[in-house]
Amino acid sequence: MPSRRMRRAVCKLIRVQTSTVCCARPNARTYSLTLQCYGRWVSHSLPLHNGNLLINNALHEKWGHSVLRSRAEMTSCAAQIEQLENRMERGLRMKDEEKLYKRNGILYSTIMSPPENLDAAKHMEAREEDVMMIAYPKCGFNWIVAVMRKIMSVSAGLTVPNRPPLIEFWSPDVHQTVAQSPSRRLIGSHLHYDNIPASFKTKKTKMLVVFRNPKDTAVSYYHFMNKNPVLPKAESWDTFFSDYINGEVPWGSYFDHALAWEKHIDEPNVKVVTYEELKENLPEGIRKVADFFSFPLTDEQVKAIAEETTFSAMVETSKKSYGTYSQVFFRKGEVGDWRNHFSEAQSKQMDEEFQKKLAGTKLGAKLKYDQYCM
């Protein structure tokens, strides 16, 4: 094992904290040094000559300007967890009837998306090069954001702030901070197409839209509301199903969102992917998303990102991002769990709603309803 002095010298040269070094194992010619890089451990063999450690230019170039976890990032992550826990604790103190309010006929979270947040979001100035991700709640938004963070880091060396990217969660102060942030910015939203800031449409900002089959979305949303203190608890599955099918849930109707995006599905700055296709072939999905946003990746990089963003990997990562509330955001990650909740009558009612709203549409075909919901 190398001395502490040696480890400190290495860390100083490659500009990382001593605390990020896990271990170094000596052999005849090299030290294998392992460091933490955005939540995963990476290794590099350092050459030895007569027992002396040689730091070559390649190592300095590889790590000296890399995205290794810094003290500032760790502080930011801790601040995010603290802010999230404060909001959750505020929700625990509130009555359920106080947790939602209506704006233009749509329900929003009083704690996460108060009116001043929506007002600030409405006037947000987009950039053509922004990375915009949109999803109806519980369609895989947190998953695709994690994938996109990896893509941006690996492909372009971009450090994405730890804050949640949902613009309706940002206070006016945060919006001002984001307005001064360098490109490329990672931005997201659960908002209906009509409520996305107009500047994103006039600037033709590329928008990745994620959908999931409506039955699994409903089940995931039901459990999310019962686990998340900032939202009112669903009285029962039957009550929630009725609210869901009628659009009386936060962010409104699933089918209203879907129909709005159907009108724009062929626009060159819009790409729709589904939760199910990502589950079927995550590496292919990563490649499509990266290509859409013009982030080049090698086959090896695609494979590495896919391995780091499986559901089990995301569960572990969420513990660092969300603290004790990580279980709120990731549950099963399965396709077909709706069969454990829907009655025959409810399944038939959803089938009829889908036929009435999305049958014959391009988005409806992409959702493969007959495969996943029958």
**One domain for residues 49 and 124:** no
Q: How far apart are CA 184 and CA 281, in angstroms?
A: 27
Q: Which of 190, 192, 257, 341 is catalytic?
A: 190
Read off the tokens for 63: 């790590």
Active site residue 190: yes
**One domain for residues 230 and 130:** yes
**Distance, CA of 261 to chain centre:** 20
The reported pLDDT for the residue numbered 311 is 73
Q: How far apart are CA 115 and CA 121, in angstroms?
A: 10
**One domain for residues 59 and 99:** no
15 falls within a domain? yes
**One domain for residues 190 and 229:** yes
Q: How many domains does the chain have?
A: 2
The reported pLDDT for the residue numbered 86 is 81
**One domain for residues 314 and 243:** yes
The reported pLDDT for the residue numbered 105 is 95
Q: Which residues of 138-154 are buried (b: 16+ CB within 10 A; e: fewer)?
A: bbbbbbbbbbbbbbbbb
CATH number at residue 165: 3.40.50.300
144 falls within a domain? yes
72 falls within a domain? no
The reported pLDDT for the residue numbered 80 is 55
| Block mean pLDDT (10 aa), the chain, length 374 | 44 38 40 41 44 41 40 48 75 92 96 96 96 96 92 91 88 93 95 97 97 96 91 93 96 98 97 96 96 96 92 66 56 82 97 97 97 95
Name 53's bridge partners: 48
Residue entry with tokens 């946003």: 293
Domain span including residue 289: 94-372
The reported pLDDT for the residue numbered 1 is 41
**One domain for residues 203 and 265:** yes
Query: pTM above 0.85?
Result: no
**One domain for residues 53 and 178:** no
**One domain for residues 180 and 117:** yes
Q: What is the DSSP string of 213-254?
A: -HHHHHHHHHHHHHH-TTSPPPS-HHHHHHHHHTT-SBT--H
The reported pLDDT for the residue numbered 353 is 97
